[in-house]
Amino acid sequence: MTQEDRRDEETIPTPSLWPAGFAVGVACALVGLVVSVTILVLGLVVSLIFGVLWVTDSSRRASAPAAEPVAAEEPHAEEPHAEEYGRAAFLTTATIGLGAVIGAAVSLPSLGFAVLPSFVGDAVESHNVDLGPISNFPEGTYMIATYMEDPKQGEVSRRTAFIRNNGFTDSGVPSFTALFSRCVHLGCPVQPNGPIDEASLKDVSGVELRSVLAASFGCPCHGGQYDSEGNRTAGPPVRSLDRYEFSIKNGNLVLGRLFSVGNVEGTGAKAQISKYYKAFPGVHVDGPERFLYPIPTPGSR
């Protein structure tokens, strides 16, 4: 090997694996945005570690001393070459840094608009709705409650819920089943499978109540079927009907926010409910399928 070849080997930097590790971390973080918070955090940690190592290695290479000049062949050639290499390294690092800043400025807002709704929900205000005295709900019978969630918005906020008084739990607390009337397939209105007693119509402070003999519920749009507890029994729905939280205030039944349900074991006051944050229609909340969908959104509707 000649002295010129040896000098070229000393001035050419060896390849670095830090950029590859940084790219793998970024890829994991992007996958984690959709699949899992754990993968997201892991990807961010990996990209941060390899990014720091990459910058440190680039700085070290840029500040490394030049190779010893070979006096016999090029007595004055090494100093300008060393100066060129330092400037080139600086320009390379600056270009990469500027590109990263521009890429972040372009991509982060888009990612924010695309991903943040999956974490913060639909940002719809929750309204507690007073349905009147619990005496208006006969035990063991479903009542169709129609009301405006926000009277200020008018008819666009009209909602329907299926309410059943389950009596009392073993601890003496009133128990109610409060099902939301929207199919969890695509959000179509669900109807009770049974006769509605129009003669029982009551209007309690703007809340219309009708009794119905509902042994099950069905969606007329795409054939989704649910049993009396809201469990899916047939058709395309991916989970049980959503439910309302409720409370008893001054003897009145008050509906709170909605939540999603994976499955219901048992009936009435003894039902065991798999409760999750409110998810959009068509989104799985349990089982292996949930990893294929965005994180269930903590929406308030």
pLDDT at 144: 94
pLDDT at 121: 47
* Residue where a domain terminates, one of 91, 115, 139: 115
Do 216 and 108 reside in the same domain of the chain? no
Do 278 and 174 reside in the same domain of the chain? yes
* Residue where a domain terminates, one of 115, 144, 179: 115
Q: Residue 150 falls within a domain, yes or no?
A: yes
Dihedrals phi, psi of 46, to nearest 5 degrees? -65, -45
Q: Residue 123 falls within a domain, yes or no?
A: no
- pTM value > 0.75: no
Q: Residue 242 falls within a domain, yes or no?
A: yes
| Cα(189)–Cα(158) distance, integer angstroms | 12
| Cα(233)–Cα(245) distance, integer angstroms | 23
pLDDT at 74: 53
Count of structural domains, the chain: 2
Q: Residue 231 falls within a domain, yes or no?
A: yes
Which residues span the domain enclosing 59? 3-115
pLDDT at 69: 56
Do 138 and 24 reside in the same domain of the chain? no
Q: Structure tokens of 285? A: 């909340």
Do 68 and 190 reside in the same domain of the chain? no
Do 74 and 154 reside in the same domain of the chain? no
Coil, strand or helix at 109: helix
| Cα(13)–Cα(3) distance, integer angstroms | 18
Q: Residue 50 falls within a domain, yes or no?
A: yes
| Cα(140)–Cα(168) distance, integer angstroms | 11
Do 100 and 145 reside in the same domain of the chain? no
* Residue where a domain terminates, one of 65, 84, 115: 115
pLDDT at 264: 92
- 155-192 residue pLDDT tens: 888 899 999 999 998 888 899 999 999 999 989 999 99
* Low-confidence residues of the chain: pLDDT under 70: 1-16, 33-36, 61-87, 90, 109-126, 291-301
pLDDT at 205: 81
Residue with the two structure tokens 């509906």? 255
Do 134 and 105 reside in the same domain of the chain? no
Q: Residue 124 falls within a domain, yes or no?
A: no
Do 212 and 167 reside in the same domain of the chain? yes
Q: What is the CATH number of the domain that holds 267?
A: 2.102.10.10
Q: Residue 301 falls within a domain, yes or no?
A: no
